[in-house]
């Protein structure tokens, strides 16, 4: 099936069999996955129909018009945007069958165990070790610490990279695993951030046993697998679909219209400039999604994520400046553990503080600048003296 009309008919038939008003939400979502209407570009039996990605819009429009429930994508964004495409690309048939359905329906939340206290921007320098179990079971025993892990306190599963061969250079001695967050030895601790909340965590792994069946890709191929995750992550962060005057610019523009007493000529000019930049970013995101229809995300996603971070910070800064003293008010410094990051329903002070993290999460702006320079613009690479040095011999 490749025709939009056929797909529209199929979706309407599904809705007739599963009326959203009378079908329990969980049952509806599972049936939608089984009908191939979750990710239409995924293979049959894995939530899709093997048709072009662009046809997903046809399904989504029909479901939205019928008042169908969604799978709360903001709550399960790491699973949808990062884990799922990586599992699809590198997973075994058993892994795909076991993991993709509950991931998409939201029955199982995912988190990402990549960054470490000593390996954030230089992710390949990670020190978490995975060694074969001594009992001959083929399992792996993992020890280490991860940091800045969003939603680890709610997650059932994690995508994890760990060093399996310290005698190889840092990029070549890494393997990629799927870690059950309920297993013994996994400890999640909250990290209180500048907003006063704890959406992030640090995760300690102490003799965590991971079956070899939960390894994704070959031993030592973890960096290659992780690149798929990272490229999809940057698209998920910086390339999400938003309406015109949506996202961070929406609240600032609304404030300008509602509070004429705050207006000045200088702030008006800056707001206009940022509004235009936000619209350019939105249209660029649309073009990026069109490119995705034809293949996998590339380095362009890094450019989108870089622009997203800078724009959010400038817009939130303008909003605080526009409000003056009012912009400094922020009434909730309690240690909350949010499941989602909500920029729209909070004070301007929260948005200003939280947007600072945009230039760190999903790859720091400095790293993304290198990626854009080298892989998009074709500029010479920075010298990398440690590229061929065994990880165990690197200064740390």
Does an H or E element contain 9, and which? helix 4-17
Contact 225, 216 (CB under 8 A): yes
Contact 181, 158 (CB under 8 A): yes
The residues annotated as belonging to the active site are: 233
Phi-psi region of 217 (alpha: psi -120 to 50; beta: other; left: phi over 0): left
Contact 212, 167 (CB under 8 A): no
CA 128 to CA 226: how far, in whole Å? 15
Burial class (CB in 10 A: 0-12, 13-18, 19+), 305: buried
Among candidate residues 71, 78, 198, 213, the one with its CA nearest the CA of residue 147: 198
CA 88 to CA 79: how far, in whole Å? 12
**Tokens 């199982």 belong to residue:** 108
Contact 152, 213 (CB under 8 A): no
Task: Quote the DSSP letter at residue 287.
Answer: H
219: which residues sit within 8 A by CB, 6+ positions away?
A: 164, 165, 175
267: which residues sit within 8 A by CB, 6+ positions away?
A: 318, 321, 322
End-to-end CA distance of the chain: 54
CA 57 to CA 193: how far, in whole Å? 37
């Amino acid at each position: 099936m490749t025709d939009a009309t056929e797909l529209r008919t199929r979706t309407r038939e599904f809705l007739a069999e599963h009326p959203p008003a009378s079908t329990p939400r969980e049952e509806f979502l599972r049936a939608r996955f089984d009908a191939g209407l979750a990710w239409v570009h995924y293979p049959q039996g894995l939530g899709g129909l093997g048709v072009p990605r662009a046809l997903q819009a046809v399904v989504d429009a029909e479901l939205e018009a019928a008042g169908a429930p969604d799978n709360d994508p903001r709550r399960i964004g790491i699973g949808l945007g990062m884990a799922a495409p990586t599992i699809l690309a590198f997973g075994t048939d058993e892994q795909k069958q076991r993991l993709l359905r509950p991931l998409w329906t939201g029955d199982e939340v995912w988190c990402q165990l990549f960054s470490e206290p000593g390996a954030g921007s230089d992710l390949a320098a990670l020190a978490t070790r995975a060694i074969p179990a001594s009992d001959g079971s083929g399992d792996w025993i993992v020890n280490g610490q991860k940091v800045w892990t969003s939603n680890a306190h709610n997650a059932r599963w994690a995508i994890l990279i760990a060093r399996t061969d310290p005698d190889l250079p840092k990029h070549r001695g890494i393997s990629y695993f799927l870690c059950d967050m309920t297993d013994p030895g996994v400890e999640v601790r909250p990290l209180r951030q500048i907003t006063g909340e704890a959406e992030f965590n640090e995760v300690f792994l102490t003799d965590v046993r991971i079956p070899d069946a939960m390894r994704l890709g070959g031993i030592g191929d973890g960096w290659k697998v992780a690149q798929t995750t990272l490229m999809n992550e940057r698209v998920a962060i910086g390339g999400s679909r938003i309406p015109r005057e949506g996202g961070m610019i929406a609240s600032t523009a609304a404030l300008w219209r509602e509070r004429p007493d705050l207006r000045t000529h200088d702030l008006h000019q800056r707001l206009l400039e940022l509004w235009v930049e936000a619209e350019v970013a939105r249209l660029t995101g649309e073009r990026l999604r069109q490119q995705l229809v034809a293949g996998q995300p590339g380095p362009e996603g890094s450019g989108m994520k870089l622009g997203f971070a800078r724009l959010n910070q400038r817009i939130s800064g303008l909003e605080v400046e526009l409000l003056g003293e009012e912009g400094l008010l922020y009434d909730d410094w309690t240690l909350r553990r949010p499941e989602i990051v909500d920029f729209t329903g909070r004070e301007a002070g929260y948005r200003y503080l939280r947007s600072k993290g945009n230039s760190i999460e999903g790859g720091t702006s400095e790293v993304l600048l290198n990626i854009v320079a080298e892989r998009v613009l074709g500029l010479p690479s920075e010298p990398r003296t440690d590229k061929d040095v065994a990880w165990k011999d690197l200064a740390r």
